[in-house]
A = this chain, B = another copy of it.
Amino acid sequence: MASLTLDAINTKVLKCEYAVRGEIVTLAQQLQQDLQANPGSHPFDEILYCNIGNPQSLGQQPITFFREVLALCDHPSILARSETEGLFSIDAIKRAQQILDQIPGKATGAYSHSQGIKGLRDTIAAGIEARDKFPADPNDIFLTDGASPAVHMMMQLLIGSEKDGIMCPIPQYPLYSASIALHGGTLVPYYLDEATGWGLEISELRKQLQAAKSWGINVRALVVINPGNPTGQVLAEGNQREIVDFCKEEGLVLLADEVYQENVYVADKKFHSFKKISRSMGYGEEDISIVSFQSVSKGYHGECGKRGGYMEVTGFRPEIREQIYKVASVNLCSNISGQILASLVMCPPKVGDDSYGSYSAEKDAILSSLARRAKTLEDALNSLEGVKCNKTEGAMYLFPRIHLPQKAIKAAEAAKTAPDAFYCRLLLNATGIVVVPGSGFGQVTGTWHFRCTILPQEEKIPAIVSRLTDFHKGFMDQYRD
């Protein structure tokens, strides 16, 4: 047998966990293979992957304009052909030409500047300015293969040892816990308050920061996910101001996960970037370090497979910026299609453009459907015995609390698994619905949750509701104390 053994590899890798693609998903893949090999072998026809924010895997169609531009940039030689005008919209052809003109030598097959193509960063900065009404600098933009590598890059920079702490919400998106573990740092938790719709209390931040300091941890940064993942809340503007002041006072880098900025479903809440909030408070480059993460994988477009994204890095000293650039340069650059798509997302068709009608119809249909799906699933969950689900104001997830009976908790113990994982496994086996146990995100000890996306296509939602409801009733009948 090959000689490399577990005790010889990096212990930080061993410690890292990532539940979104963890055990339950492995089981789901096995069931899917079963179903293919032996149709009818399970009490369901298909596996419904509600474990991950992956809209197009569940049938969501891409935005036509975006794909037209990508195809033309992939094969620019058809731009000169007459047939192309019959196949592609006029403004997609024009946009592809503009983008190609921004790329040195029109070479979409070349490595770009390590921060990304300058012209595309100009477009993105202009999009941020239009969104925030405050200046954005293209030199602050680092384009990355989705948001995840950007998060890793910042963790790599900020974490030198287990003495370096990063404050993260609990529950959190497990990319953060995984990245902190891989880089050998300490996750300093702060708990969101489920009772107030996953509220973020400054008193809790202060308490946890003091506790970490008392253990000798140098806390470097605060992660805020807004809209929340897995918790779906959208922060109020006043709350954001308090967070900015807290980071400023405590000298913490504010790592702002803003990848769900287009996913807000309630009329009384709006997305505000943390940079906009800080600038509106009169704070500039000298006052606070903010990194804003954005991705093409989320929003209404949900282009997960394209791996596009960026971070906007403000308020860092030049010598730190050089270090960030150096780390980016070791990986040369992010993929050019993803870079192009990030520029399209931040500068979509405008009123008067040839594609505006189809673009806005596609966008509105997706976002309004997501809002309806969120509401239907939320209501369904809240109608279940012992289940309480906060409103999904934004993002793509529901994170219901399940009050599990003692008998279920004992059964989970006997099965050597966490009670919420036990519930999720039975749910999968009975219905084919894949959700992620709350323990993968963190939760108050003794409480149990799961994360379920709102992404199955709308016509499937009634069946999901009825399968979920039937399962839950049966589960409670079996385990009710």
User: Are B178 and A330 in contact, with the CB atoms below 8 A?
Assistant: yes
Q: Is A112 an interface residue when CB atoms closer than 8 A count as contact?
A: yes
Query: A363-398, CB under 8 A of B: which get 1 and which 0?
Result: 000000000000000000000000000000000000
A57–B107 touching, CB < 8 Å: yes
A261 at interface by CB-CB < 8 Å: no
Q: A18-B329, A71-B72, A330-B178 are in contact. Are A304 and B9 (CB under 8 A)?
A: no
| Residues in A lying within 8 Å of B, measured CB to CB | 1-6, 8-14, 16-18, 20-21, 52, 54-59, 62, 64, 67-68, 70-72, 74-75, 77-78, 81, 83-84, 86-87, 104-105, 107-112, 114, 145-146, 148-149, 152, 156-160, 164, 175, 178-179, 182-183, 218, 220, 251, 253, 285-289, 297, 302-307, 315-317, 319-320, 323, 326-327, 329-338
CB distance from A32 to the nearest CB of B (A): 10
Please determine whether B337 and A335 come into contact, CB atoms closer than 8 angstroms. Answer: yes
Given A54-B111, A74-B337, A160-B12, CB of A6 within 8 Å of CB of B288: no
Q: In the complex the two chains form, is B21's CB within 8 Å of A57's CB? A: no
Asked whether, in the complex, the Cβ of B2 is within 8 Å of the Cβ of A286, the reply is yes
A220 to chain B, nearest CB (A): 7
Q: How far is the CB of A302 from chain B (nearest CB, A)?
A: 7
Name the contact of A75 in the complex, choosing from B11, B68, B86, B110 (C-beta under 8 A). B68
Residues of B within 8 A of A159 (CB): 10
Q: A148-B330, A329-B21 are in contact. Are A2 and B156 (CB under 8 A)?
A: no
For A306, what are the chain B residues with a Cβ–Cβ distance below 8 Å? 109, 335-337
Contact of A56 among B5, B109, B158, B331 (CB under 8 A): B109
Whether the Cβ atoms of A305 and B156 lie closer than 8 Å is no
In the complex formed, the residue of B with least CB distance to A3 is: B251
Report how far A86 CA is from B307 CA in the complex, Å.
31
A56 to B103, CA, bound (A): 11
CA distance A169 to B142 in the complex (A): 32
Subset of 17 A-B contacts with CB under 8 Å: A2-B285, A2-B315, A4-B251, A5-B317, A5-B320, A6-B323, A16-B330, A57-B104, A70-B74, A83-B87, A109-B305, A111-B305, A145-B307, A178-B330, A304-B332, A307-B333, A307-B335
